[in-house]
Structures are given as structure tokens and as C-alpha cells.
Amino acid sequence: MYKKHFNLNRNPFDLTPNPASFVPIKGHNDALTAIYHGVRQHKGFVVVVGEVGTGKTLLVRCLLDLLGRSRDIAYSYVVNGRLPEVEFLQYVLTDLGLPVAGRSKYELLLDFGHYLAERNARRMTTILIVDEAHLLSSEILEEIRLLSNLESNEDKLLQIVLVGQPELDEKLDSIEFRQLKQRIAVRTQLSGLTLIETRQYILQRLKQAGCPNGDTRLFPADTISTIHRVTQGLPRLVNLVCENALIEAYGVRAEFVTREIVQSVARQFRLDVEATSGARDLRLDPLDPELQSLLKILLEGYRNGRRAASDEDLAAFQEPER
Ligand SMILES: Nc1ncnc2c1ncn2[C@@H]1O[C@H](COP(=O)(O)OP(=O)(O)OP(=O)(O)O)[C@@H](O)[C@H]1O
Ligand SMILES: [Mg+2]
């Protein structure tokens, strides 16, 4: 509804992870290159970790786009890691075009091994890509570890890409999965964008929607700084804030998005709570024994008619010299 008002030919901040909207932020570019080369050079195990909304699924879709251009590549793309083991195997094999009906797990694994060996002999690459891998059960992770054991004398037969939120790292750090962790050949991490990257991101997405290259009138520098602060540079939040800021700016027929509009959107979505209240810095950890003792001394001071704890009392809690 705001498109005409702002001279745009589509919504610039659509939330769908669409490769056509990919902005080549350095971290994303590096990650995509690392994953692509990892699978093309048959490194075996590739892991991509990133906070919620950093662009992992978009990256996977870009990867699939790239892989889809090569005839020597076949892949299975799994997004539902909550399947039971046999269903998981059936899903992967079906995705790769193998028959699964009426086959036991043993037969499925045998078929899969033959399929991979035969493709490898023809110098073809087979890839298993799991998005939302932090949700995988221990059983499926173990199954994936076993699949990663399939290798010829010189080569890994199956390339595996696991993509997930930081909980994936926690799982892989556990003793249970130390064998799997040791097999990771490429590991890459996505994080929030810096201020400069956030600017690049916003301007590029506006350009994709018909805004002239480098036109900063719609989102001036101070507006972008505020967006970066309230979103911590997380692309999904940047999209959410920019989209709603455009709607709000259109509502008041503003010529451009002001910092105040962004602040209002941030309040609406409660994004300003952590960033502006300083709550994180002031919050006392109730389990911290040192702080508990300090509080006790302060309270006792009040109870004894003193305005606060004495200097001697407080001196005991000064930071130890390093
Ligand atoms: N480099 C980029 N270029 C263009 N859009 C991006 C980029 N990175 C992230 N986005 C956008 O940010 C939003 C979130 O991306 P995505 O869904 O891929 O995040 P995610 O890391 O998979 O999140 P989750 O952890 O919730 O699965 C999407 O709208 C996506 O298009
Ligand atoms: Mg995702």
C-alpha cells in the first residue's frame, strides 16, 4: 500500500528467504563460499551455525540454487529433523529418487551405500543438507554420523551440511557427539550485521525494489543507526522494523522514515526493552553469592540507622586487582 507513495515497485523487506533478494554481505558471502567449496571438494562434514533470523535458510536456498546448476550433483534437503530414524532415511532416499516402499532399515542403508558408491565412481557428488539441525534428535544425529562413515578408499561418499541455531553447537559439544564433532571439516558462523553492513543491506534491498542505487533519502543515516541498535543487525528484525516503519511513515504521509518512527515501531514490537532500559546491566543475579552478601550488608546498614554500608564494608567488594 505504501509502494506508490515511496516510488517502489515491490515490498523491499519481504520476509521470505528468497535467493533473488540476497544481499552479498561479507559474512554471508564467505559462508556461502565455504559451504559450496566444502561440498564440491568432498570435505565430508560442513556445519553452519547462526542466531535466529541471521539468514541461514536463505543461505541454504542460495546454495541449492548454485548446486542445481551442476548436473553432477544430487542433494536431499531436509527441513523436518523431528522424524523418527527410519522415516528420516526414507525421506532422504525418496528425495534422491530411490525406492523405499517395503524396505527394512537394513535394506535402505544397503541401497543407499550402493547408490553413493556408484555415483562416486562416476565422480558425482551427493549431498545431504539439514536445516533446523538444532532440532535433530540424538538418534537422527547418530544416524547422520553413521552415514558420514560411508567412504571409499580416497573419498567421502556423502557430503553432509548441518545448519542450525547455536543449540546445535551445544549438542555437538556434548560428549555424546564428540565423534561427530571431530568429523567437521568446515564450520562457519553467521552473526548480526554491523552498522555498515546494515546500511548496505537496507540500501540494497531498497534498490532491488526500484529505489535508485545509493539513494539514502528514504532511510537517512540516523534512522539506519536506530534500526541497527534496536535490531542488533539481525536481518529478520531489520526487515520487520523497516517494513513496519514504511507503513507507519506512509500512514502520516511522511516523505522519509524518521528515527522517531523507527523508535515507535521498536516499542510496538518491544524491541527497545533490552536495548534502551539497560536492564541487562543492572539486573542482579540472585545466585551470585558476592552480590547477595553486598545486599545483606547494605540492608543491615539501613536497619542500623546508617544511610548505606560503610566504606570498609564496601571495600571488601571492590574488584580484585588483576
Ligand atoms: N544476506 C541477505 N540478503 C538478503 N536477505 C537476507 C540476508 N540475510 C538474511 N536475510 C533475510 O532475513 C530474513 C531471515 O532469514 P532466514 O529465514 O534465512 O534466517 P534463519 O537464520 O534461517 O532464521 P531461523 O533461525 O529462524 O531459521 C529473511 O527474510 C531473509 O530473506
Ligand atoms: Mg531458518
For the domain that residue 172 is a member of, what is the CATH number? Answer: 3.40.50.300
Chosen domain end from 190, 216, 239:
190
In a domain? residue 134: yes
Whether residue 45 is found in the same domain as residue 180? yes
Grid coordinates belonging to 310: 560503610
Whether residue 160 is found in the same domain as residue 226? no
Percent of the chain with pLDDT over 90: 77
Average pLDDT over residues 42-52: 96
Which of 58, 65, 200, 242 for mutating ligand 1's site (highest number of atoms within 8 Å of CB)?
58
Residue 76 φ then ψ, to 5°: -115, 135
Q: Is the model more confident about 57 or about 303?
A: 57
Ligand 1 is surrounded, with C-beta below 6 A, by 15, 17, 21-23, 25, 28, 50, 52-58, 165, 235-236, 239
Give the number of whichever ligand sits closest to the CA of residue 131: 2
In a domain? residue 18: no
Domains identified in the chain, total number = 3
Residue 321 has pLDDT above 50, yes or no: no
In a domain? residue 3: no
Whether residue 49 is found in the same domain as residue 160? yes
Whether residue 85 is found in the same domain as residue 231? no
Whether residue 299 is found in the same domain as residue 265? no
User: Which atom of ligand 1 lies closest to the CA of 238?
Assistant: 12
User: Which atom of ligand 1 lies closest to the CA of 50?
Assistant: 21
In a domain? residue 9: no
Q: Which residue's alpha carbon is at the smallest distance from atom 16 of ligand 1? A: 55
Q: Which residue's alpha carbon is at the smallest distance from atom 10 of ligand 1? A: 55
Whether residue 36 is found in the same domain as residue 183? yes
Reduced 3-state DSSP string for the chain: CCCCCCCCCCCCCCCCCCHHHCCCCHHHHHHHHHHHHHHHCCCCEEEEEECCCCCHHHHHHHHHHHHCCCCCEEEEEECCCCCCHHHHHHHHHHHCCCCCCCCCHHHHHHHHHHHHHHHHHCCCEEEEEECCHHHCCHHHHHHHHHHHCCECCCCECCEEEEEECCHHHHHHHCHHHHHHHHCEEEEEEECCCCHHHHHHHHHHHHHHCCCCCCCCCCCCHHHHHHHHHHHCCCHHHHHHHHHHHHHHHHHCCCCCCCHHHHHHHHHHCCCHHHHHHCHHHHCCCCCCHHHHHHHHHHHHHHHCCCCCCCHHHHHCCCCCCC
Whether residue 117 is found in the same domain as residue 263? no
Which of 16, 52, 57 for mutating ligand 1's site (highest number of atoms within 8 Å of CB)?
57
Say what the pTM is: 0.84
Q: Residue 310 is part of which domain span?
A: 284-315
Residue 20 has pLDDT above 50, yes or no: yes
Chosen domain end from 148, 167, 190:
190
In a domain? residue 99: yes
Whether residue 67 is found in the same domain as residue 177? yes
Chosen domain end from 136, 168, 190:
190
The per-residue pLDDT for 236 is: 98
Q: How many CB atoms lie within 10 A of CB 301?
A: 16
Say how many Å lie between the CA of residue 192 and the centre of ligand 1. Answer: 11
Whether residue 159 is found in the same domain as residue 206? no
Q: Which residue's alpha carbon is at the smallest distance from atom 31 of ligand 1? A: 17
In a domain? residue 103: yes
Q: What is the pLDDT of residues 224-250, one digit of tens each?
A: 999 999 999 999 999 999 999 999 999
Whether residue 245 is found in the same domain as residue 302? no
Q: Which residue's alpha carbon is at the smallest distance from atom 15 of ligand 1? A: 55
Average pLDDT over residues 61-87: 92
Say how many Å lie between the CA of residue 56 and the centre of ligand 2. Answer: 5
Say how many Å lie between the CA of residue 303 and the centre of ligand 1. Answer: 55
Point out the least confidently predicted range of 100-104, 144-148, 153-157, 272-276.
272-276
Q: Which residues, other chains included, contact 303 with Cβ-Cβ below 8 Å and sequence gap of 6+?
A: none
Say how many Å lie between the CA of residue 125 and the centre of ligand 1. Answer: 27
Give the number of whichever ligand sits closest to the CA of residue 16: 1
101 sits in the region (left: phi over 0; alpha: psi -120 to 50; else beta) called beta
Whether residue 185 is found in the same domain as residue 77? yes
The residue with cell 546498614 is: 301
In a domain? residue 6: no
Grid coordinates belonging to 117: 558408491
Whether residue 36 is found in the same domain as residue 180? yes
In a domain? residue 16: no
